[in-house]
Structure 1
C-alpha cells in the first residue's frame, strides 16, 4: 500500500460517493485530507442519499489519516479562495488536488426526469449549466488556486475525475461535452505545469458501488464493479510514485493504473479495466 505520511490532499465533493472513497483511500495511506462539500448534517443533502463531510472526515481519521471537513460551495469563488487560504495557513503546502465535485445529475437515481428524457432537447437547460458551472468550472477554479502552492514546492498532483462519456456519443450531450472538457483541461494544464514538476491527469473510474448505484443495484451488473475506496487507493499509488510525471497529461483508467501499481480493492479483488465500448 502507498505511504503518504506528511502529504496534504484536498478532495472536492466528498460527502459521499466517489469523493468519499477517494478521501478514505488517501487517508488510509496516512495523508492529511481536506474534505469539501455542502452537506454538514444528515438529511440536508441535495440528494436522497446518506453522507456528510464530517462523517467522511471522521472515517479518514479512523483509517490512520487526518480528516478535515470544510463546508464549501464550489460554485462560489470566494468560498473556494478562502478554502485554499486556510490550507496554506494551516499546512503551508498542498500535494494532491482531486477535482471530484460535480453538478447536474443530482437526481439520476431518483427515478425523476431522467427516465422521461428522449434527447438533449427534452432535458432541462439547467443540466448544461450545472455540469459546467458545478463541474468543469469548479475544477478549473480549484486548480487555479492549487497551482501556485504546488509551483512553489515544485511538486504536486492534480486529478480530474472524469468518465468514458467524454469519448462516447450516447451518454448525453451535456455530460459528454463536460467530461470531454475536463479531459482537455487536464491535458492543457499538464502542458503548462510540466516545468514545475506538477502532474495533471484525468482519471476514469469504472462502475463504482456508490450509495446512488447501490440504491438502484437491480439495474446494474456489479460483477466487475469497484468500491469508492478503490479509486482513492489508485490515486494514492499514483501520488506516491516519484516518476508520476510520465503520466501527466494523460487520460487514465483507474483499473488499469491499479494493475500497474498492484492495487487491490477492499474486497481483495482487482477489477478488470473496461474499454470505451464497454463503459
Structure 2
C-alpha cells in the first residue's frame, strides 16, 4: 500500500451519525486500542455521534509500538476533532495496571463519569500460526494471551467502578468470532483460541455483574476485517482488494485468499456499536455475543459501500459447499 493510499484511508470522514442525531451527546467513552483498525473506526463513530472520546494506544509519532505500523493515537484523535468532535489521545500500555488506573482517574477528574467502555486490544500481531502448543514459544504465547485478554481485564477492573456510578453504562468487548462460531471451530492456535473465547466469556461475566447497576456488557465480533494491517498484509488496496480476491476463487495457498471477498471495513462494526450505545433498550443485549452483521441488520445499517457482509455465514458455508456453488453476493 502506498503512502498516499494510507492517507486517503485515514482522512476525516464526513459520514453522518448513523442514528441521524448527535445521539451520544453528553456521554463519555473510553476506547482502549484506538490507534488503527476497528478501534480507530469505533472511536471516530462515537465522536461523530457526540461522545467525548478518550482514545488510547501505544503508537505515537515519536515512539511507535512493536507493531511497526505508521498509524498513531494522535492521528485518531485528530480525525475526531477534525470533524467537530471531542477527543483526547492518551498513551497507555494496558498491561501496565498503574497506567490504566491513572487513565481512569484522569477521566474521572476531567469528566466525572464514564458511559461507554470499548475494549478493542487484539494482539493478533503476536500469533504464530500453524504452531502446536508444545512447539509454541511460551513467551510469545503469553504475550499474545496477555495482550488479547489481560488488557481487557485490567481495563475493566480499573474502569467499571466509574462506569457504574451512573446507570446505563455499556461495555463492549471486541473479539474475533461469535460465541456460536467459536464453540465449534478451533481458532488456529491454543493461545489465540483461549484469548478470543476468553474475551467473549469476559463480556458474559461482566454482564451478570453490571445488570444490578443498570449496565450492559456485550461481546462483538467483526467479520473478516479489511483493516489497514490486513490490506498491507495481502498487498492490496481499498481500490483493488475484491478483484484480487476474486482472481483466487477455487485456488489454495493464494494471497489474498478467496474468502477475502466477504471482508468488511471497520466502519460497519463501528456504526453498529454506536447505534447500540445510543439504543435506550440496549440492555436486551446484555451478556450476549453478537457480530457486526447482526448489529447492522438490527439497526438497519450498512458498510460504506452500501452492502452488509455476512462473513461468518459465508465462511461456514464454504466449509461444506463447493466454492463454485456459492455466490458471495448472496452474503452481501
Scaled by the length of structure 2, the TM-score of the pair is 0.77
Aligned residues: 272
**Please, which of 316, 320, 323 is the counterpart of residue 277 of structure 1?**
316
CA contact (8 A) 2:126 2:143 kept: no
CA contact (8 A) 2:122 2:175 kept: no
**Please, which of 168, 177, 200 is the counterpart of residue 183 of structure 1?**
200
Q: What secondary structure does 2:171 align onto?
A: strand
**Deviant stretches of 4+, over 4 Å:** none
Q: Which residue of 1 aligns with 2:251?
A: none
Larger radius of gyration: 2
CA contact (8 A) 1:46 1:106 kept: no
1:1-279 to 2 correspondence within 5 Å?
1-2=18-19, 3-41=23-61, 44-103=64-123, 105-106=124-125, 114=128, 117-164=130-177, 166-167=182-183, 168-217=185-234, 218-220=255-257, 221-275=259-313, 277=316
Q: Which residue of 2 aligns with 1:111?
A: none
Q: Supply the RMSD in Å over aligned alpha carbons.
A: 2.0
Q: What secondary structure does 1:36 align onto?
A: strand
CA contact (8 A) 2:263 2:311 kept: no
Q: Once the two structures are superposed, what CA deviation does each residue of 1:209-253 show, in whole Å capped at 9, x if it has no partner?
A: 111110123424433221112211111000001011011001111
Q: Once the two structures are superposed, what CA deviation does each residue of 1:90-111 show, in whole Å capped at 9, x if it has no partner?
A: 11111110001133x3256xxx
Instruction: Say if 1:277 and 1:42 are closer, same or farther in 2 by CA, change over 3 A.
Output: farther
CA contact (8 A) 1:39 1:51 kept: yes
CA contact (8 A) 2:126 2:140 kept: no
Instruction: Say if 1:278 and 1:43 are closer, same or farther in 2 by CA, change over 3 A.
Output: farther
Work out which structure has the larger RCO, using CA pairs closer than 8 Å and 6 or more positions apart in sequence.
1
Scaled by the length of structure 1, the TM-score of the pair is 0.90
Further displaced range: 125-134 or 198-207: 125-134
Q: CA shift at 1:43, angstroms?
A: 7.1
Q: What secondary structure does 1:75 align onto?
A: coil
Q: Once the two structures are superposed, what CA deviation does each residue of 1:7-46 show, in whole Å capped at 9, x if it has no partner?
A: 1111111111221111112122122111101111167231
| Structure 1: unaligned runs, 5 residues or longer | 109-113
CA contact (8 A) 1:24 1:229 kept: no
CA–CA distance in structure 1, aligned partners of residues 111 and 209 of structure 2: 25
Q: Once the two structures are superposed, what CA deviation does each residue of 1:113-141 show, in whole Å capped at 9, x if it has no partner?
A: x46x4423232212331233222121112
CA–CA distance in structure 2, aligned partners of residues 63 and 79 of structure 1: 29
CA–CA distance in structure 1, aligned partners of residues 199 and 26 of structure 2: 29
CA–CA distance in structure 2, aligned partners of residues 118 and 145 of structure 1: 34
